[in-house]
Amino acid sequence: MKIMNAPWLIRIVVVLCAGLCAVRIQAQSVPDTSLDTAPSQSQTSSEVTDPGPSKSPDQDQRNQFVPALDGTGLVSMRTNHRFRFLAGETTTSGWDSNPENLPKGSASALYTVSPYFSLQASTNKTQYLLQYEPTFNFYSGYSGNTMQVASAKVLSSASDRLTWTLGLSGSHGQDSARLLAPTQSIPIGSVPGTGPNSSSYLPNAGTITNIDGSLDLHYDLSPKNFLGFDFANSFSSMPSLNQKNSVATTNLFFTHGLSPTLGILAYQQTSQYYGTLSCTTFGGGAGIRWQPLQSTMLVLKGGPQINAPICKSQQGFSYSVSLATKLSGKSQFYLLAGRQPVTGYLGPGLWEDSFSGGYHRQISSANVIVFDVGFVTSSTLKNVSSYRGVYFSSSFTHTLSRGLSIASSYRSYDESSGATGFNRNILLLSLIWTPNSRPPSQ
């Protein structure tokens, strides 16, 4: 392991002190107004649109949440703010066991800086949310790297029955830098969770570009029935690997509410792969949405998925399961599992099997502990090696004052592709500044 020299230590101390001073000055001048967020702590960019607590399971998109790019939880799209600009920063120092992602890599000390900018606005019928966060990583023994992440979301009620949502997110930089950035959550109802993208990155792909777009339509046929249409497209460019991968997926579904807590659904799903891999898949199935308690939501769906002959391999079936529950006023738990079309940034493949879960607990008014685990594996094609990634993280966050927290975390990642693989362990100590928002411990 290479020990951080004096100049690097001085840099870290200066950055931490500067951030702390800026926070103290800002805290005295900022009024006590809260950003609309879900009451929980935490993420392509991927997103789950299953409903949180509501009056009936058919209110699928009436109260959407969006992951905050700074890793502090979920932002509600239902806001009364006409216009609000937010800025924050996460400054981190720590240790990385394998920055170069090698089978037997050397460790290094590190520090990262992640400024955060957000703009939220609304009209009588439409809500807007723009976010941007770059992450700059510096090492004592290696050259640094960066990752730029941005997202945009628009939620609008075209009429009393029709609601539409438009989403766009993108990232550009070294894909392995994501492991050092603030944890990106995804909304599982109103509970923040860690999706399969936390368990997957391409360590030697060089500078990559990922762009994800989505359009969701929700139409109420009656108080108990609604139609939905989702379109999503994932694009990834990896010049170092000479690859451009894209997956476009459409879903058409119908939901019927049997009771205020139980709904059944039927769906049709089509995926088109283009770029390095050309393939078309068709499928459909059924499922349930069950909300046995106000703070618990279970969504289960699945069915056959048939690939066209050009794919040269069969997926067979697809499914997705999500469970989110608040065990008490101070703890929450979630599970995600699925067999779905492969994410574009994993390279050319047909489908992926994934699992993730986590437990969050507020152990006091100022302290929170979080545990997350994730697993993903992709299909094997003749010209592409299979992929497997396992992720684990734990963190402890202490709120120093309103909008200012300090967090210690451990992250572990194990990856294999074909006959090669590596593991990576990271220890981090972070100062998190989130002015004008609720503390991360809530």
Q: What is the CATH number of the domain that holds 337?
A: 2.40.160
Q: Are 73 and 37 in contact (CB under 8 A)?
A: yes
**Pairwise pLDDT comparison (290 vs 36), residue with the higher score:** 290
Q: How far is CA 116 from the centre of its chain?
A: 16
Q: How far is CA 183 from the centre of its chain?
A: 8
Mean pLDDT score of the chain: 78
339 inside domain: yes
Q: Report pLDDT for 436.
A: 62
Q: Are 51 and 297 in contact (CB under 8 A)?
A: yes
The answer to whether residue 80 scores a pLDDT higher than 60 is yes
Q: Are 37 and 437 in contact (CB under 8 A)?
A: yes
Sorted by sequence, the CB contacts under 8 Å of residue 342 that are 6+ apart come out as: 247, 349, 350, 351, 352, 378, 379
For residue 300 the two structure tokens come to 């289960």
107 inside domain: no
Residue 417 backbone zone (phi > 0: left; psi -120 to 50: alpha; other: beta): beta
Other C-beta atoms lying within 10 Å of the C-beta of residue 96: 26
41 inside domain: yes
Task: Measure the CA–CA gap between 289 and 48, rounded to whole angstroms.
Answer: 14
The answer to whether residue 54 scores a pLDDT higher than 50 is no
231 inside domain: yes
4 inside domain: no
**Average pLDDT of the residues in 13-35:** 36
208 inside domain: yes
Domain, as residue range, for 303: 36-85+117-130+145-433
pLDDT in tens, 345-374: 555 556 788 899 999 999 998 999 999 999
Least reliable range by pLDDT among 14-18, 135-139, 264-268:
14-18
Residue in the structure block whose two tokens are 């981090």: 428
Query: Distance of CA 304 to CAs 183, 311, 427, Å?
Result: 33, 16, 43
301 inside domain: yes
Other C-beta atoms lying within 10 Å of the C-beta of residue 82: 9
pLDDT in tens, 231-284: 999 888 888 777 788 889 999 999 999 998 999 999 999 988 887 778 888 999
What SS3 state is found at 219?
Answer: strand
Q: Are 341 and 350 in contact (CB under 8 A)?
A: yes
Q: Report pLDDT for 385.
A: 59
pLDDT in tens, 191-210: 778 877 776 777 777 788 98
254 inside domain: yes
Domains contained in the chain, number:
1
pLDDT in tens, 396-424: 999 998 889 999 999 998 887 666 778 88
